[in-house]
């Protein structure tokens, strides 16, 4: 199949509210453009989005229907089992556990969704049931007090160790343009339900060993995208072809159920010679647009939607923001023109759209796209080159976040030091410029709304501020951290229960990426310590509500490291390793990223996915710590689910929930979701009626 040569006229998604044309916004933009005063954005002529009244009725977001996905692993005390509390289940749902056909929980489990079975072994077989369930498998109304039992899972057996290996089909080594032999390594990984079975699959990006940063010349190998079931069954492989360069800033796929049919689609930038999962070539199979230095600065650019189950191309259109004149993006050799990001957002509050971004050092563009099951269509286009948008140029990061920052139930794109509203207009720009890391959540539960913690690169733009903590809705900076050079690393999560809310920390002084010295502050801005944990990923790993530190022991030789999980000992101000993923390695050079971090299986705590040393498998690690806390699966939290979609673009960042998750947290409200497939009919537990 061949792509259309012109982008179709923008068309609204069925049942979606129409949005104003991107070409008729200048008046609104001039009114909405913030004034930058001392690094704090103040909207002209109004109190800001937070002051707007909420809609009368809650919107429901289309959502994939996941199953309880139980997991069990042999541990020191027996076998630890855990399972999901689903988004539509009551917080007091009563779970019952069976081992080898016999009930082993005399009383239902109501305070958590895990169980340590001291008598369990690697040969045990388990099954989870719900007391008081109805025919659809969901708890009965009225407090879950019914006496009937229905199965909530199929039978499952424990992992012999703390991990599950997902075998991969590693691409063959190849001879590069320069005559060298190169190989492949499993890199960034995405997850979604590809076949509608209620379980998550994985899509792996294969990175050739000669991949390049945009700033460096050189031909690269092809980029491959593979889909796998967790048992290692390969569903498909997409070859992006010679006209897509390999590197962290080029291919930014999105994996999500964009047409709300219960099965996810993959969207990614393609070009002449891309081969879909069914073997069909997109565009001109013989075209080679690479120049002598390996850059691709000419030739058509496309966006393709692929079927998540088969990998077949469903529709291809021209990429909405063409490269145009390369030097218009800030340099003439091909660095800044090809800086891409992507995300998924509920721009109308009900249906998912893909958002593809190009440029952030100077010109910044965001292109929102819908898919109706057959065709891709443009929803809106934001361009800092448009009149009234000049203040948004140069504000993007190497990453982005998606959240409903203004409380209107529709998502905004937090684009570094600026934020784009759900309708494609600018919400505000702080003028603080480019940075390498940002985090968005309700980090300070003492004040309404969400906050953004960001680190900054341009001391001229910030007035010598290395990090800022701001109101996500208005851009108002609550506190900041002084610096005199690029501050390249920062993180925020609750790691110290002595202070209300989360803590934010950034490297300082020498500002090296692995510096143990910097600034650790409370959500109120109080300086807690100049000793800091690794400013990298954070994860919910052990049994408490504090976050753990995910990093690696870096080796300069292979430019990778052994992944580690550590606890911040807040009283002694030191990082203490509690888990080491031997036999695996981290991704993305010094950044030390997991291939994926997500609530993939079991209860609300997160799994960590790393590639094995030889990239023949992805290794999924789960916790073996007991927890007394009960939360719905993080994948049912709208902001967290979208964090998983954008987690691995460019400079990877950890996911965050839309509510404060930490010590002293309140129980989050049930998410407002509309599942896109019906609940499976439940199977009664025969012979085990009663509590």
pLDDT at residue number 56: 57
Which of helix, strand or coil describes residue 459?
Answer: helix
**Pairwise CA distance, residues 649 & 354, whole Å:** 13
Task: Tell me if 517 sits within 8 A of 531, measured CB to CB.
Answer: yes
pLDDT (tens digit, 9 = 90+) per residue, 485-515?
Answer: 999 999 999 999 999 999 999 999 777 888 8
With 60 as the cut, is the pLDDT of residue 551 above it?
yes
With 80 as the cut, is the pLDDT of residue 49 above it?
no
Q: Which of 190, 170, 72 is nearest to 120 (CA)?
A: 72
pLDDT (tens digit, 9 = 90+) per residue, 220-244?
Answer: 999 999 999 999 999 999 999 999 9
User: What is the phi/psi pair of residue 392, to 5°?
Assistant: -95, -5
**Pairwise CA distance, residues 355 & 367, whole Å:** 5
Neighbouring residues of 279: CB distance < 8 A, sequence distance ≥ 6 = none
Section 110-133 average pLDDT? 96
Task: Tell me if 204 sits within 8 A of 168, measured CB to CB.
Answer: yes
pLDDT at residue number 514: 86
pLDDT tier at 8, thresholds 50, 70, 90: very low
Section 395-419 average pLDDT? 99
- Total residues belonging to the chain: 691
Task: Tell me if 650 sits within 8 A of 248, measured CB to CB.
Answer: yes
Q: How far is CA 146 from the centre of its chain?
A: 38
pLDDT (tens digit, 9 = 90+) per residue, 382-397?
Answer: 999 999 999 999 999 9
- Compute CA distances 361 → 368, 455, 465, whole Å: 20, 15, 18
Count of alpha carbons within 13 angstroms of residue 520, beta-carbon side: 24
Helices (H) and strands (E) in the chain, counts: 3, 48
Least confident of 130-139, 184-193, 234-243, 282-291: 130-139
Task: Tell me if 265 sits within 8 A of 295, measured CB to CB.
Answer: no
Q: How far is CA 416 from the centre of its chain?
A: 16
Location of structure tokens 């100077």: 362
**Pairwise CA distance, residues 142 & 207, whole Å:** 52
Structure tokens at 367: 């292109």
**Pairwise CA distance, residues 182 & 499, whole Å:** 50
Section 619-644 average pLDDT? 99
pLDDT at residue number 78: 97
Task: Tell me if 133 sits within 8 A of 152, measured CB to CB.
Answer: yes
Neighbouring residues of 667: CB distance < 8 A, sequence distance ≥ 6 = 91
With 50 as the cut, is the pLDDT of residue 415 above it?
yes
Specify whether the backbone of 622 is left (phi greater than 0), alpha (psi in -120 to 50) or beta. Answer: beta
Task: Tell me if 81 sits within 8 A of 126, measured CB to CB.
Answer: yes
Task: Tell me if 122 sits within 8 A of 161, measured CB to CB.
Answer: no
pLDDT tier at 537, thresholds 50, 70, 90: very high
pLDDT tier at 688, thresholds 50, 70, 90: low
With 60 as the cut, is the pLDDT of residue 338 above it?
yes
Using CA atoms in the order 7, 8, 13, 18, what is the torsion angle rounded to 10 degrees? 100
Higher pLDDT, 1 or 451: 451
Strands, sheet with 418-420, edge to edge from the N-terminal-most edge strand: 401-403, 412-415, 418-420, 426-429
Find which of 7-21, 146-160, 397-411 is predicted with most confidence, using mean pLDDT: 397-411
User: What percent of the chain is modeled with pLDDT above 90?
Assistant: 87
pLDDT at residue number 380: 99
Section 325-348 average pLDDT? 98
**Pairwise CA distance, residues 283 & 3, whole Å:** 6
Please report the DSSP string for 175-195 in residue order: E-TTS-EE-EEEEEEEEE-SS
* H or E element at residue 477: strand 477-482
pLDDT at residue number 133: 64
Which of helix, strand or coil describes residue 271?
Answer: strand
pLDDT at residue number 689: 56
pLDDT tier at 57, thresholds 50, 70, 90: confident
pLDDT at residue number 145: 46
Section 555-576 average pLDDT? 95
Which of helix, strand or coil describes residue 106?
Answer: coil
Q: Which of 640, 633, 636 is nearest to 660 (CA)?
A: 640
pLDDT tier at 139, thresholds 50, 70, 90: low
pLDDT (tens digit, 9 = 90+) per residue, 180-220?
Answer: 999 999 999 999 999 999 999 999 999 999 999 999 999 99
Higher pLDDT, 44 or 264: 264
With 90 as the cut, is the pLDDT of residue 4 above it?
no
User: How does the average pLDDT of the chain come out, rounded?
Assistant: 91
Neighbouring residues of 198: CB distance < 8 A, sequence distance ≥ 6 = 65, 66, 67, 69, 680
The overall longest dimension of the chain from CA atoms, in Å, is: 74
Count of alpha carbons within 13 angstroms of residue 553, beta-carbon side: 11
Report CA Rg, the chain.
24
User: What percent of the chain is modeled with pLDDT above 70?
Assistant: 89
Sign of CA dihedral 199, 344, 427, 597: positive
């Amino acid at each position: 199949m061949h792509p259309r040569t012109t982008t179709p006229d923008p068309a609204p998604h069925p049942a979606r509210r129409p949005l104003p044309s991107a070409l008729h916004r200048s008046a609104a933009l001039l009114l909405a453009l913030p004034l930058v005063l001392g690094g704090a954005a103040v909207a002209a002529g109004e109190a800001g989005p937070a002051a707007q009244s909420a809609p009368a009725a809650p919107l429901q977001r289309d959502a994939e229907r996941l199953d309880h996905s139980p997991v069990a692993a042999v541990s020191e005390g027996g076998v630890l089992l855990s399972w999901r509390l689903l988004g539509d289940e009551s917080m007091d749902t009563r779970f019952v556990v069976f081992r080898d056909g016999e009930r082993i929980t005399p009383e239902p489990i109501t305070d958590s969704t895990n169980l340590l079975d001291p008598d369990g072994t690697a040969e045990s077989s388990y099954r989870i049931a719900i007391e008081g369930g109805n025919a659809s498998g969901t708890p009965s109304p009225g407090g879950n007090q019914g006496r009937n039992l229905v199965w909530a899972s199929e039978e499952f057996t424990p992992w012999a160790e703390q991990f599950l290996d997902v075998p991969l089909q590693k691409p063959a080594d190849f001879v590069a343009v320069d005559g060298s032999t190169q190989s492949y390594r499993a890199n960034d990984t995405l997850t979604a339900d590809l076949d509608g079975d209620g379980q998550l699959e994985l899509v792996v990006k294969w990175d050739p060993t000669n991949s390049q940063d945009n700033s460096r010349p050189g031909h690269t190998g092809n980029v491959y995208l593979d889909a796998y079931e967790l048992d290692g069954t390969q569903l498909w492989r997409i070859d992006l072809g010679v006209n897509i360069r390999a590197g962290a800033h080029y291919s930014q796929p999105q994996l999500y159920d964009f047409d709300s049919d219960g099965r996810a689609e993959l969207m990614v930038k393609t070009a002449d010679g891309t081969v879909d999962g069914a073997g069909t070539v997109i565009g001109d199979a013989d075209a080679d647009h690479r120049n002598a230095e390996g850059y691709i600065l000419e030739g058509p650019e496309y966006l393709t939607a692929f079927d998540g189950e088969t990998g077949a191309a469903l529709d291809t259109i021209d990429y909405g923001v063409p490269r145009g004149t390369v030097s218009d993006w800030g340099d003439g050799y091909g660095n800044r023109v090809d800086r891409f990001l992507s995300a998924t957002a509920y721009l109308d509050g009900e249906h998912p759209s893909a958002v593809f971004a190009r440029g952030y050092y100077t010109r910044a563009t965001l292109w929102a796209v819908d898919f109706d099951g057959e065709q891709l269509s443009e929803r809106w286009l934001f361009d800092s080159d448009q009149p009234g948008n000049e203040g948004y140029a140069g504000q993007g990061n190497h990453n982005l976040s998606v959240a409903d920052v203004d409380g209107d139930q529709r998502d905004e794109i937090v684009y570094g030091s600026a934020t784009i509203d759900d309708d494609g207009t600018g919400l505000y720009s702080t003028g603080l410029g480019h940075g390498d890391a940002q985090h968005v959540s309700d980090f300070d539960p003492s004040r309404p709304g969400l906050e953004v913690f960001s680190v900054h690169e341009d001391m001229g733009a910030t007035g010598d501020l290395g990090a800022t903590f701001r109101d996500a809705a208005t851009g108002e900076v609550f506190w900041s951290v002084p610096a005199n050079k690029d501050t390249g690393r920062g993180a925020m999560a609750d790691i110290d229960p002595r202070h209300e809310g989360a803590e934010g920390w950034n490297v300082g002084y020498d500002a090296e990426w692995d510096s143990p010295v910097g600034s650790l502050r409370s959500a109120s801005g109080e300086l807690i310590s100049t000793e800091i944990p690794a400013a990298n990923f954070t994860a919910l790993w052990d049994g408490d509500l504090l976050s753990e530190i995910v990093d690696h022991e870096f080796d300069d030789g292979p430019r990778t490291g052994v992944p580690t999980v550590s606890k911040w000992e807040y009283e002694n101000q030191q990082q203490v390793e509690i888990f080491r993923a031997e036999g695996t390695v981290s991704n993305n050079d010094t950044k030390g990223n997991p291939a994926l971090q997500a609530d993939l299986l079991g209860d609300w705590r997160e799994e960590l996915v790393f590639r094995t040393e030889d990239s023949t498998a992805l290794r999924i690690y789960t916790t073996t710590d007991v927890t007394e806390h009960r939360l719905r699966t993080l994948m049912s939290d709208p902001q967290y689910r979208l964090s998983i979609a954008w987690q691995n673009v460019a400079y990877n960042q950890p996911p965050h929930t839309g509510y404060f998750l930490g010590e002293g947290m309140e129980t989050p409200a049930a998410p407002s979701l509309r599942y896109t497939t019906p609940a499976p009919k439940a199977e009664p537990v025969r012979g085990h009626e009663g509590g």
